[in-house]
Amino acid sequence: MLPQGPANSQAPVKKRRPLPYEYGRVILNNYSEKTPLGPVVFEHWSHRARFTCRICYVDIGFAMKANATGINAADNARGYYCGACHNGRTVLDGKTAFEACSKTMSAGDQVRCERCHSYRKTDKNDAVFLRFADPLPKERFGKELDWQQAEESGLIHPVDFVRGISIKRKSITIQQDFSLNAKLAGMPDIIFSHKKHTVWSGCEGCHPEIFVGVKRGSTHYSMIGIFEGKDCGACHNTVAFPLTDCQRASLVGRLRPD
């Protein structure tokens, strides 16, 4: 029996599952704590409702890991990263995006700054999310929103091109769905749909940064690696539906061409 002491006298603490409005929330804090404003809170749900993932991760060039981009106010003011859209000029859905960072700051700018530097002040954001989510189709985990169904049914219209940021791309033939054989006895196969993923990420969102090759079988998966954030885990468990929703990917017997 292990001796009882401060290090081992307590049972392991189960990690709290993020609430729907917290899922995908990113705290940007490379430099913010050194300022009076505090860290930036980035809400994925708010941007995902308006844009495809490719706009931010391919066209603008954000890293897919929190605090890996090294965003700072000077770069935003020059029109990079957040400043690519939040520049006081970009018009989307008939509205002008507010300017995130400016080269000069007046006394009244703190209110504007706190729209992003809102750490520990997110109650308003949470209420806005609940109103936004109310009419949308639901799922069981993550944000508890079925983004795929919301897009397919026309309830949201994520933009895949922003003038001055994106480039026109030629459409390519989308590969058919295919199955990934489960290695564990009794587990159904995973059905992977290129069509569903390219709506949000295009090809560039996954190849070659996440999946090295474009030939089937060139990347070897494991659930351990995915839970560590590799391969499918780069998005699932952080922004896309989490791995706890096993049935979303394991649809044995339902493989069919689109």
Q: Please answer whether residues 176 and 258 qualify as being in contact, where contact means their C-beta atoms are separated by less than 8 angstroms.
A: yes
Which tokens go with 183?
């290695």
Predicted confidence at residue 256, as pLDDT, reads 39
**In 10 A of CB 112, how many CB atoms?**
17
How far apart, in Å, are the Cα atoms of 24 and each of 69, 98, 140, 185, 201? 17, 22, 15, 32, 16
Q: Please answer whether residues 203 and 173 qualify as being in contact, where contact means their C-beta atoms are separated by less than 8 angstroms.
A: no
Q: Classify 55 in phi/psi space as left (phi over 0), alpha (psi -120 to 50) or beta.
A: alpha
Predicted confidence at residue 177, as pLDDT, reads 85
**In 10 A of CB 51, how many CB atoms?**
20
CA angle 95, 97, 87 (to 5 degrees): 140
Bridge partner residues of 51 (DSSP): 159
Bridge partner residues of 92 (DSSP): 95
Predicted confidence at residue 33, as pLDDT, reads 76
User: Smallest Cα–Cα separation from 181: which of 252, 254, 234?
Assistant: 252
Q: For each successive 10 residues of the chain (258 residues), what is the average pLDDT?
A: 45 75 92 83 94 95 89 93 94 89 77 88 89 95 94 95 90 82 79 90 88 76 88 91 80 40
**In 10 A of CB 43, how many CB atoms?**
20
Predicted confidence at residue 11, as pLDDT, reads 56
Predicted confidence at residue 239, as pLDDT, reads 92
Residues of the chain with CATH 3.90.10.10: 26-133, 170-258
pTM: 0.82
Domain topology for 26-133: Cytochrome C3 (3.90.10)
Predicted confidence at residue 170, as pLDDT, reads 84
What CATH number does the domain located at 170-258 have?
Answer: 3.90.10.10
User: Smallest Cα–Cα separation from 148: which of 73, 53, 31, 14?
Assistant: 53
Q: Please answer whether residues 71 and 79 qualify as being in contact, where contact means their C-beta atoms are separated by less than 8 angstroms.
A: no
Question: DSSP letters of 135-147?
Answer: TS-B-SSTTSB-H
